[in-house]
Structure 1
Amino acid sequence: MHKELSKFINDNLPLIDEKLHTVLDGVNLSKTLKESMAYSINAGGKRIRPLLVLATLKDLQADSKDALAVAGAIELIHTYSLIHDDLPSMDDDDYRRGKLTNHKVFGEAVAVLAGDALQALAFQMLSELKETNPADALRLMHLLGTASGAAGMVGGQMLDLEGEQKKLSLSELEQIHIHKTGALLSFCIEAGAILAGLESEKAENLKEYAYHIGLAFQIQDDILDVTATTEQLGKTAGSDTASEKSTYPALLGLDGAQERLMAHHQSAKEALAFLEVETSLLALFADYIVERQS
Structure 2
Amino acid sequence: MEGNHTQTKFILLGITDSPCAQAPLFGLFLFIYIVTLVGNLGIMVLVWVVPSLHTPMYFFLTHFSFADVCYSTVISPKMLADLLSEDKTISFAGCMMQFHGFAFFATAECHLLAVMAYDRHFAICNPLLYVTAISSRVCWQLVAWSYLFAFLSAIIYTGFIFGGSFCKLNRIDHFFCDASPVLKLACSDTQSSEAVIYAFVAINGVSTGMIILLSYICILRTVLKMRSARSRSRAFNTCASHLAAVALFYGTIFFVYLQPAASHSSLDKVASIVYTMVTPLLNPFIYSLRNKEVKDALVKCRRRILDHCRHKRVVIS
Greater percentage in helix: 2
- Which protein shows a greater Rg? 2
What is the TM-score of this pair, normalised by structure 2? 0.27
Q: Which structure is richer in relative contact order (CA contacts within 8 A, separation 6 or more)?
A: 2
